[in-house]
Amino acid sequence: MRLSIVVSAQPASFEAATFQGDLDANLAFVRELGFDGVELAVRDPDALDADALAARLGELDLDVSALGTGQAWGEEGLSLTSPDAGVRRRAVERLEAHVRLSTRLGRAGACPVVIVGLLRGKLAQGQDRALAAQQLVEGLKACCASAAGAGVRIAVEPINRYETDLVNTVAQGLELIEQVGAAELGLLLDTFHMNIEEPDILQSIRRAAGRVFHVHVADSNRHAPGQGHIDFEAVLGALDAIGYRGFASGEFLPLPDAGEAARRALRHLRACQKETG
């Protein structure tokens, strides 16, 4: 399995975006460490120079595994389930901009997966859950229609209950995919969230077979893999066994610092891969 790591392309407050700050320097550093790719966290694609970014990635021979979109929620409050129709429309338009950016950054025919994490929103007090669920399906249908035309895939990330109350588990994610009914929609499995929500992480990976579009790796305490109690040898083995051939992307706290956390993650994941073959 190829390894990538989250680098924020624009300033953000999300603390598990492992690398933040000077984008050019971070890309070079990640390459030097030995990652095969980078996952870019992008608040607003229109505020980026996509041509310059594509050129820089080409120079470094670095693939983009995925585009994170959560900053559009965290920094601007965009949400696919906002009670405000204008906010929902802008969230869809923003995801469509991420789909366009994905087509600009794709290399060797593979476009980065566009992630729907916290951009799905969370329920405000008194908000009707059934209506929000329906709005989420409608928003994703619109995004998938744009993605289908562009040859881009979208991955919904089940996120633990302390961060959102919409789609916490793999089972809920699979149900949502069925409701949307689009081949472009799959799941992002994040081991940190799975450790909180899934009764059996390996069984949930097997249930998601064929629909896993992207993977985030962080340990049980959201430190780098190897610093907590998740069995990454078993997790990587299960992903391999279901035929997952995408990236495992590091999204963990930059502790004791981003470089050291990234080194520890690489060391641990490579050792686990050796064991699984």
Active site residues: 157, 251
Q: Which of 251, 254, 268, 269 binds ligand LER (CB under 6 A)?
A: 251
Does 187 bind ligand LER (CB under 6 A)? Our answer is: no
Binding mask 245-274 for Mn ion (x = CB under 5 A): ------x-----------------------
Q: What angle do CA 45, 48, 54 make, to 5 degrees?
A: 100
Minimum distance, C-beta of residue 22 to Mn ion, in the bound complex (Å)? 23
Residue closer to ligand LER, measured from CB, 45 or 74: 74
CA angle, residues 55, 60, 62, in degrees to nearest 5 = 90
70 binds, among Mn ion, ligand LER, none (CB under 5 to 8 A by kind): ligand LER
Binding status of residue 116 toward ligand LER by CB under 6 A: no
- Using the minimum distance from each CB to ligand LER, give the nearer residue, 62 or 156: 156
Which member of 190, 197, 198, 219 binds ligand LER (CB under 6 A)?
Answer: 190
Nearer Cβ to ligand LER, position 184 or 190?
190
**Subset of 189-248 contacting Mn ion (CB under 5 A):** 190, 216
Q: Which of 109, 33, 97, 108 is nearest to 71 (CA)?
A: 97
Whichever of 18 and 81 has its CB closer to Mn ion, that residue is 18
Q: Which does 118 bind (CB under 5 to 8 A by kind): Mn ion, ligand LER, none?
A: ligand LER
Residue type, 83: P
Q: Site for ligand LER (CB under 6 A): which residue of 63, 96, 157, 197?
A: 157
Q: Of the two residues 219 and 251, which places its CB atom closer to Mn ion in the complex? A: 251
Contact in structure between 253 and 216 (CB atoms under 8 Å): no
**Cβ contacts of residue 94 below 8 Å, gap of 6+?**
44, 69, 72, 78, 119
Q: Contact between 163 and ligand LER (CB under 6 A)?
A: yes
Restricting to residues 79-108, name those near Mn ion by CB under 5 A.
Answer: none
- For residues 202 and 234, the answer to whether their CB atoms sit within 8 Å is yes
Helix (H) or strand (E) holding 247: strand 247-250
Q: Using the Cα atoms of residue 195, residue 116, residue 118 and residue 19 in order, give the sign of their dihedral.
A: positive
- Say how far apart CA 232 and CA 94 lie, in whole Å: 34
For the chain, the C-alpha Rg in angstroms (whole number) is 17
Q: Tell me the angle at which helices 129-150 and 85-105 cross, rounded to the nearest 10 degrees.
A: 30
Write the interaction track for ligand LER spanning residues 82-101; mark x where CB under 6 A is met and - where it is not.
--------------------
* Residues across the chain: 277
Which amino acid, residue 17? Answer: A
- Residue 159's binding partner, choosing from ligand LER, Mn ion, none, with beta-carbon cut-off 5 to 8 A by kind? ligand LER
Q: Rounded to the nearest 5 degrees, what angle is found at the Cα of 173, between the Cα atoms of 170 and 174?
A: 90
List residues near Mn ion by CB under 5 A. Answer: 190, 216, 251
What is the binding site for ligand LER (CB under 6 A)? 70, 117-118, 157, 159, 163, 190, 216, 251
